[in-house]
Amino acid sequence: MFRVLLTAWLLLLCVTSSVIGYLTSDRRNYQQILLSDHVEERIHLLSPSNLLANRKCDGSDTLNNSCSRDLDFLKRDLTKRKEWALKMMDSSSKPQSGFLNGFLINIGSYDQCVSIHEILSDTVIRGRHCMYSVNPTTLKKPFPYNPIISICLPASCNSEDVAQLVNATADQIELLKIVELEWVFCSPLDSEKSDDSARFIILFLIALYVFFLGVCTVCHMYRKILFSPETINSKSFQSMCNLSFAKNNRIIFNTKADESHLSIINGIRVISTAWIVLSHEYIFDLFQVNINMLDLLKFYASWKSLIPLIGIFSVDTFLAMSGFLMTYTFFKKMNKKANFSIYQYYIHRYIRLTAPVAVVLAIMMYVYPSIGSGPRWDWFLSIFVMGIKEKWWSILLYLHNYIDKENLCVLHLWSLAVDMQLYWISPLILYPLYRRPKLGITIALALCVASIVASGVIVAMNQYPAIYATHEPNMELIMREFRDVYITTHTRASPWCIGIIFGYAVVTKTKRPSKATMWCGWLATISALIFCLYSSRYFTDTNYVYDIVREVIFASLARPAWAFAICWLVYASAHDCAGPITNILSWKHFQPLSRLSYCIYLVHVAFPLARASTTRTPTFFHDYVTWQSCICDLFLSVVMAWGVSITFEVPILALEDMIINLKAARSRERKDK
């Protein structure tokens, strides 16, 4: 069997390598556009120095009075070569080399700008860093990114004033008539930022909670070192010992073999989590101040783009494993004739997911904004973090993938909503599956088919790209597809349903499958992986022309095909038919990382977000840099996830178990009476 599998994978590599011969033939020559469409000249005419030079000083401008007054001071002191005025102009963007290779973002000198503090008679002038993005071409959306220019202005000026300066300059120069101002953002002043009271309260509560766990740890060590467990019979004391850091740490790092023979899932979880981190590293590279942005197009058209594109399927892996383990656990419990409480079924899941999420939201909302700064720090926070204040309730109710979808805060948490919503409806499948298996399988298959059809119909009606990227940069289209297809539960349910079917097959059919079944399963698995890999590569080819049939087929079948392949690995491993794959993925040291995978997923985005937000200097996009950043961020994510898990996740679950056991004990006492 292993030789057959190895031969098939070699065939896969040969097929894949045969279609990656075109790396650099861009569908649109962006360098030619930069050369022929006067783009560089228009950008120069929109530079900060020209905006100020073309400003009308006769009082006819529409700037606010304070801004207009301070700009007059700036113009006066520039002629006198005063230090503060020269610093303000020096902090603004200037023409840079590498423009034809995509160096389109110039963030100026943020720290020098905001450090300006000048007292002029009764006026205090401070520096304020602003950015404005323009489309300086005759073509609609010709670049992967519109050029971004930075300007340092007196703090009395705001984003509306910057927009007025840009539009006024464009109106005066014929070559700028076609220029479109995309957006303006000015860094907020200290007085405009939130006060420290909420941050202090959050940190105080966390510190108080950690102190309590520390006391529990001391009690646990006191009991373990100085006395035998039977010496102290106080239930309160024993409960405190159960919440200690030491005990929680042992739970996380326990590597005892799993008796269910499903330890392969640990390796799958760890690899999938690492792949998600790597994919997000590539995504955040798009937001960096890259001096070679046009090289990103070559990367997208190469086989290397499969690394982040295939990483997208890691979410489907987790959904499939969620359905698999949910079914497996349910049947194991029912087969033991244990009492099943639907109330406890839902409450346990909610507490299990929500305790770490609530902590991460609180920290991101009130603590994270104070740990950094930079020319784009507040801009990124306004997009990815600050929206938590309006959306936190829908996140904690796991409805945020349908409510306020324009709000992109903590975007990666959408998968939690999908998983929880599917969990809500799971009894509609699990109960029939236990009582009348054929009916349960029919319901699961019907839901799977409905999800597949929904994905295809939505992609077809809106002509969305199947792999969430296009050769023609169109962020509006990609974000619409993200909201309509990528994060919605009805389009992501098929892997979960496949996981349920395989979970039922493993838990109820313990007899080793026939050789014919195994051959067919491995063949289908290899075919599914080839389909996902080859199709993803096919869509990124520079010669590809949008084909609605191919797009719909891939959008409909790629996720269930990938989920089938992953579930088959677990199924084959459970029946000792996966050879060395089982040995590798069942390595016992995967277990601690597998337990931390959920918290790693929650916290990992904070690190690439912080790096992109605090960038002061241009960067160079290269695979080595991305992988280096990924390894560093993955290590930091593991450390932070360990802290979150040992402090919040494991103790909360232990507390839940104590409450359940206490209720059970009281119930037995009532029966005895």
**pLDDT tens figures, 512-552:** 888 899 999 999 999 999 999 998 888 888 788 888 999 99
Q: What's the pLDDT at 669? A: 61
SS3 content of the chain, % helix, strand, coil (to 5): 65, 5, 30
Q: What's the pLDDT at 152? A: 95
What is the pTM (predicted TM-score) of this model? 0.89
Joined tokens for residue 63: 């700037």
Q: Are 293 and 145 in contact (CB under 8 A)?
A: yes
Hey, which residues does 652 pair with through a beta bridge? none
For the chain, what percent of residues have pLDDT higher than 70?
Answer: 87
Give me the helices (H) in 80-129, please: 83-90, 110-114
Joined tokens for residue 512: 């080793």
Q: Cα–Cα distance between 157 and 154 in angstroms, integer?
A: 6
Q: What's the pLDDT at 472? A: 61
Other residues' Cβ atoms within 10 Å of the Cβ of residue 672: 6
Joined tokens for residue 208: 């108080």
Q: What's the pLDDT at 439? A: 95
Q: Are 375 and 150 in contact (CB under 8 A)?
A: yes
Strand pairing report for 123-135 and 117-120: antiparallel
Q: Which residue has the tokens 């390894």?
A: 631
Q: Are 427 and 342 in contact (CB under 8 A)?
A: yes
Is 301 exposed, middle or buried, given 0-12, 13-18 or 19+ CB atoms closer than 10 A? buried
Is 153 exposed, middle or buried, given 0-12, 13-18 or 19+ CB atoms closer than 10 A? buried
Question: 89-125: per-residue pLDDT in tens?
Answer: 999 998 888 888 888 899 999 999 999 999 987 889 9
Joined tokens for residue 454: 């929904």
Which H or E run includes 69?
helix 65-79
Q: Residues with Cβ < 8 Å from 671, sequence gap 6 or more?
A: none
Q: Are 522 and 572 in contact (CB under 8 A)?
A: yes
Mapped onto helix, strand or coil, the DSSP state of residue 486 is: helix
Treating both helix axes as pointing N-terminal to C-terminal, what angle do 264-285 and 590-603 enclose, rounded to 10 degrees? 30
Q: Which residues of 195-223 are buried (b: 16+ CB within 10 A; e: fewer)?
A: eeeebeebeeebeeeeeebeebbebbeeb
Question: Strands, E, within 493-652: which ranges?
Answer: none
Q: Which amino acid does the sequence have at 529?
A: L
Q: Are 75 and 88 in contact (CB under 8 A)?
A: no
Integer distance in angstroms from the first to the last C-alpha of the chain?
Answer: 61
Which H or E run includes 166?
helix 159-172
Nearest to 93 by CA among 154, 46, 163: 46
Q: Residues with Cβ < 8 Å from 150, sequence gap 6 or more?
A: 48, 91, 92, 93, 106, 107, 108, 110, 129, 130, 131, 375
Joined tokens for residue 522: 């491995």
Q: What's the pLDDT at 335? A: 83
Hey, which residues does 119 pair with through a beta bridge? 124
Angle made by CA atoms 274, 275, 279, in degrees to the nearest 5: 120
Which residue ranges in the chain fall short of pLDDT 70? 1-31, 57-61, 139-145, 191-195, 225-235, 258-261, 338, 469-474, 661-673
Q: Are 460 and 481 in contact (CB under 8 A)?
A: no
Residue 117 dihedral angles phi and psi, to the nearest 5°:
-150, 105
Q: Is the dihedral of CA 287, 292, 293, 298 positive or negative?
A: negative
Hey, which residues does 596 pair with through a beta bridge? none
Q: Cα–Cα distance between 51 and 48 in angstroms, integer?
A: 5
Other residues' Cβ atoms within 10 Å of the Cβ of residue 427: 15
CA distances from 308 to 272, 285, 303, 305, 609 (A): 12, 11, 11, 6, 17
